[in-house]
Amino acid sequence: MARDFSWIRPEPWGIHVVPADCWIDPSRPVDRALVTHGHADHARGGHGSTFATPETLAIMKLRYATEAGAVPVPYGERIALPGGVAATWIPAGHVLGSAQILLEHAGERIVVTGDFKRRPDPTCPPFEVTPCDVLITEATFGLPVFRHPPVEQEIAKLLSALAANPERCVLVGAYALGKAQRLIAELRRAGHRDTIWLHGAMERMCRLYEDWGIDLGPLRLVSEAGKGELAGAIIVAPPSALNDRWSRRLPDPITAMASGWMQVRQRARQRMVELPLVISDHADWNELTQTVVEVNPAETWITHGREEAMLRWCQLNQRKARALALVGYEDEDD
């Protein structure tokens, strides 16, 4: 009998685990939500109960100030859900607390990757390849033009721009959850010991990372900077602040942005970026296709991103695949 995996049903507003009546990363309030990670397009408030890693729940608490119904599930712990479904949260390597969710039912295994990457990241445990029958994967950077360079190369680019312009500062736009902290941690790993200055919107999330044991070194707020203190410094701000009035207070900033989209010149120019840093928290084309090969599922379902090219690749490689028309996922500024 051909398997149809009908116990899991993608709907436009989330993936429905039918026997357990749970939803994965739903974009509307539900009774029971299984959340992969804390980014706003995956984790929303208002659910009856929310199953996620303790780190993700802490992030959600910070963002939505709600704790009701939080069910922490540490990485690797297999929990029983109603209807004979078991669920396990497995590291996805995307941001602090990010997980793939393995669902088991009636002898079938389905993995929902959420967002993921395969590169090492000092702020979260690495992606684990998990064999399964259906791999439900993202494809944010699912085009063969996306080949993210080694992060060390991009960090070196940032530090040399800083060294070459001692009178100026480098203002880096980075997504407030994940990218900002990874960038700071990578700068520390590269030996940069100076104070890194934060836009106000970055502060609480950085503190949260520190509470979870990730050392980010000396951090201060731009609003507390004395005259002249910002020259020769790195400032981290959300991408929306780059060309905002807020940035006018800075000493002749070099506008940088840390994002996988920076690989395409036109995208960087649209953002008025002078120093594009190709640093992504998502899998690039090679990582996506390599993951499908390694996991080797019977079927590959694609949640969001550039699914057309991934579908084509699966077709060329005789792999069964389909695109799910999920709504509400965005191209994060990753």
Partner 1 sequence: MEEFAALLDALVYTRSRNAKLKLLADYLRSTPDPDRGWALAALTDGLDFPAVKSSTIRNLLMERIDPVLWTLSREYVGDSAETASLLWPEPTEAPSPPTVAEAVDALSRMTRATVMAELPRLLDRLDGNGRYALLKLATGAMRIGISARLAKTAFAQAFDVSVEDVEEHWHGQAPPYTALFDWAAHGAEPPNADDIPLFRPFMLAHGLEDTQVDLADYAAEWKWDGIRVQVVRAGGATRVYSRSGDDISATFPEIAEALHIDAVLDGELLVRGAHQGGEEGGAASFNALQQRLGRKTVSKKMREEYPAFVRLYDALIVEGKDLRPRPWSERRMALEALVPQLDPARFDLSAVIAAADFAELSAIRERARDDAIEGVMLKRRDSPYVAGRRTGLWYKWKRDPLLVDCVLMYAQRGSGKRSSFYSDYTFGCWDGDPDEGADLLPVGKAYFGFTDEELKWLDRYVRNHTVNRFGPVRETDRSLVFEVAFDSVHVSKRHKSGVAMRFPRISRIRTDKPAHEADRMDTLRKLIRD
Rule CB under 8 A: say whether 273 interacts with partner 1: yes
Decide: helix, strand or coil at residue 23: strand
Rule CB under 8 A: say whether 247 interacts with partner 1: yes
Chosen from partner 1, Zn ion, none, partner binding at 116 (C-beta under 5 to 8 Å by type):
none
Positive or negative, the Cα torsion across 157, 159, 162, 166?
negative
CB of 184 to partner 1, least distance (A): 23
Rule CB under 8 A: say whether 193 interacts with partner 1: no
Residue 69: burial class (beta carbons within 10 Å; 0-12, 13-18, 19+): middle
CB of 239 to partner 1, least distance (A): 15
53 within 8 A of 72, measured Cβ to Cβ: yes
Chosen from partner 1, Zn ion, none, partner binding at 309 (C-beta under 5 to 8 Å by type):
partner 1
Which of 19, 69, 72, 144 forms a contact with partner 1 (CB under 8 A)?
Answer: 144
CB of 37 to Zn ion, least distance (A): 6
Q: What share of the chain is helix, strand, coil (3-state, %, to 5)?
A: 30, 25, 45
Q: What is the C-alpha separation between 263 and 276, in angstroms, rounded?
A: 8
Buried b (16+ CB within 10 A) or exposed e, 7-36: bbebeeebbbbeebebbbbbbeebebbbbb
At residue 174, φ and ψ (nearest 5 deg) are -150, 140
CA–CA distance from 308 to each of 143, 149, 191 (Å)? 9, 23, 41
Judging by DSSP bridges, how do beta strands 32-34 and 22-24 pair with one another? parallel
Residue placing its CB nearer to partner 1 in the complex, 1 or 164: 164
Structural tokens at position 5 = 């995996």
Which of 115, 121, 186, 284 forms a contact with Zn ion (CB under 5 A)?
Answer: 115
Residue placing its CB nearer to partner 1 in the complex, 14 or 276: 276
Chosen from Zn ion, partner 1, none, partner binding at 275 (C-beta under 5 to 8 Å by type):
partner 1
Helices (H), 148-239: 151-164, 179-189, 203-211
Which of 71, 80, 106, 145 forms a contact with partner 1 (CB under 8 A)?
Answer: 145
Q: Kindly report the number of other CB atoms within 10 A of residue 76's CB atom.
A: 12
Q: What is the C-alpha separation between 52 and 225, in angstroms, rounded?
A: 38
Q: What is the C-alpha separation between 278 and 39, in angstroms, rounded?
A: 20
Q: What is the C-alpha separation between 182 and 135, in angstroms, rounded?
A: 27
CB of 267 to partner 1, least distance (A): 9
**Subset of residues 275 to 314 that bind Zn ion, contact rule: CB under 5 A:** none
Chosen from partner 1, Zn ion, none, partner binding at 115 (C-beta under 5 to 8 Å by type):
Zn ion
CB of 189 to partner 1, least distance (A): 24
Rule CB under 8 A: say whether 272 interacts with partner 1: yes
Chosen from Zn ion, partner 1, none, partner binding at 274 (C-beta under 5 to 8 Å by type):
partner 1
Rule CB under 5 A: say whether 39 interacts with Zn ion: yes
Residue placing its CB nearer to partner 1 in the complex, 27 or 165: 165
CB of 92 to Zn ion, least distance (A): 9
CB of 311 to partner 1, least distance (A): 10
Q: How many helices (H) and strands (E) in the chain?
A: 7, 19
Residue placing its CB nearer to partner 1 in the complex, 21 or 274: 274
Which of 131, 269, 320, 327 forms a contact with partner 1 (CB under 8 A)?
Answer: 269
Site of interaction with Zn ion (CB under 5 A): 39, 115
Site of interaction with partner 1 (CB under 8 A): 143-147, 243, 245, 247-248, 263-266, 268-270, 272-276, 306, 308-309, 312-313, 316
